[in-house]
Amino acid sequence: MIIVLSAHEARILACLVEKQITTPEQYPLSLNAITNACNQKSNRDPMLDLSENEVQAVIDTLSRKHLVLERSGFGSRVPKYQQRFCNTEFSVLQFSAQERAIICELMLRGPQTPGELRTRAARMAEITDVTQVEAALEALRTRESGPMVQKLAREPGRRDSRYAHLFSGPVADITESISNEPSAATPAAPEPVDSAVLERLARLEQDVRALREELVRLKSGA
């Protein structure tokens, strides 16, 4: 894997790819349009609330990585930006239409099953059935230059495994966190008791013994 992205870098690049495909008449995008796309309430997970200053800082970083290019159209009064992440003449990464749509959806919404990707990626590429998604995922997973996606362990209660993109590093399987939790057969170690509590208990025991001894003396004197 050559390209390593932060979560915000991945979100911005995915938004640029998405809008390039779905609304080409509005592409390239202004800073305001990119910010709105990043904070969009639909087709996003997690939801973000980035400011324009935060988005601009990330765009500047992506520009230094040669993954975003400022390209303002004739008569444009504000800077506009386009992606150089994939499927352009300047991009190292070249995907099929289905692969590009799947990678974009994974960067926008996180890990998903092939069935979920079939429904969601169909707005960006022609996908007729889930077998096309599975074939594209397998091609991305076994890519000669290195895997682009990772198949996660199937979660309890789910029929299918989810897939995640690897541009922000490997994704921890949910099974790892489950296996690290104490099981019912292996009780957790008791929490240590505060020393002050132990001291108070010891004093109370001494007081109780002293009261019992005093009571015995009183009864014997009677």
In this predicted model, what pLDDT tens digit does every residue of 22-36 receive, in sequence order? 999 999 999 999 999
Question: Residue 112: beta bridge partners?
Answer: 163
Contact yes or no for 165/149 (Cβ under 8 A): yes
pLDDT at 193 over 70: no
Average pLDDT over residues 124-131: 97
Helical residues (DSSP H) of the chain, grouped into ranges: 7-22, 31-38, 52-64, 97-109, 114-121, 130-141, 174-179, 195-221
Distance CA 67, CA 90 (A): 9
pTM: 0.76
Whose structure tokens read 């109780």?
A: 208
In this predicted model, what pLDDT tens digit does every residue of 39-80 receive, in sequence order? 999 999 999 999 999 999 999 999 999 999 998 766 678 999
Q: Return the amino acid letter for 40.
A: Q
In this predicted model, what pLDDT tens digit does every residue of 139-173 receive, in sequence order? 999 999 999 999 999 989 889 999 999 999 988 75
How many CA atoms within 13 Å lie on the side-chain side of 197?
3
β-pairing verdict for 80-83 and 29-30: antiparallel
Contact yes or no for 79/34 (Cβ under 8 A): no
Please give the residue that has the higher pLDDT: either 2 or 132: 132
